[in-house]
Amino acid sequence: MTEQTTPQITEQQRQQWLNEQFKKATKYLAENGVVVSTVDDAASRYLYPLWAVLKVKAMDGAAFWVLSGDLPVDFISAGNAANGRDALRHFVMSWQLKAENIQRSGITDQTQLQFAAIMQNRAEQLYKFVEKDEIWGSV
C-alpha cells in the first residue's frame, strides 16, 4: 500500500487565498453599490480553500456578511445573522429556496437551470460545514 501525503499549505498560500477571497468579495459588493471600508477579522471565518464568510463594514457604516470561495459570491445585511455560522446557514437556506424557485418556475433556459443546480449543490455542501461544531468553536 502506498502512502499518500497531504500537501502542506504554507501560511503565505493561505493568506494569498484569503486576500483573493477578499478581493472577489469587495468587487462583488462594489458592483452592488457597497464600498467596503473595513473587515472584522475576529468575526470572519474561513475554511481554506473552500469558502470564506467575511464580516465587512461599508463606508456608510452598514455591516454585511459576504460569502466567497469555490462558489458564487453572495452577501447579506449583518442584521440577518449574529455570527459567521448563522450567516452561512442563511446563505444555505436562501440558495436552496432560489434554486427550487428556478426549477419550479418552468424556465427552460439551460444556463438558469445549470445555475440552479450549482446553487443547490453548493448549498448542500455548505450545510455540512454549518453543522460541524469543530469548525465554529465557541461561535
pLDDT number for residue 139? 59
Identify whether 6 is part of a domain: no
Q: Is residue 1 part of a domain?
A: no
Whether the CA torsion 14, 65, 139, 135 is positive or negative: it is: negative
Domain span at 119: 11-136
CA 85 to chain centre: 11
Q: Do the domain assignments include residue 90?
A: yes
| Residue 116 included in any domain | yes
96 in a domain, yes or no? yes
Nine cell digits for residue 116: 440552479
CB 26 within 8 A of CB 34: no
| Overall number of domains in the chain | 1
Whole-angstrom distance, CA of residue 112 vs CA of residue 117:
9
The DSSP call for residue 83 is: S
Q: Would you say residue 61 lies in a domain?
A: yes
Query: What is the predicted pLDDT for the residue at 8?
Result: 79
Does 4 fall in a domain?
A: no
The answer to the question of residue 2 being in a domain is no
Dig out the grid coordinates for 26 from the structure.
469587495
Residue pLDDT tens, the chain, 139 long: 445 555 678 999 999 999 999 999 999 999 999 999 999 999 999 999 999 999 999 999 999 999 999 888 999 999 999 999 999 999 999 999 999 999 999 889 999 999 999 999 999 999 999 999 988 876 5
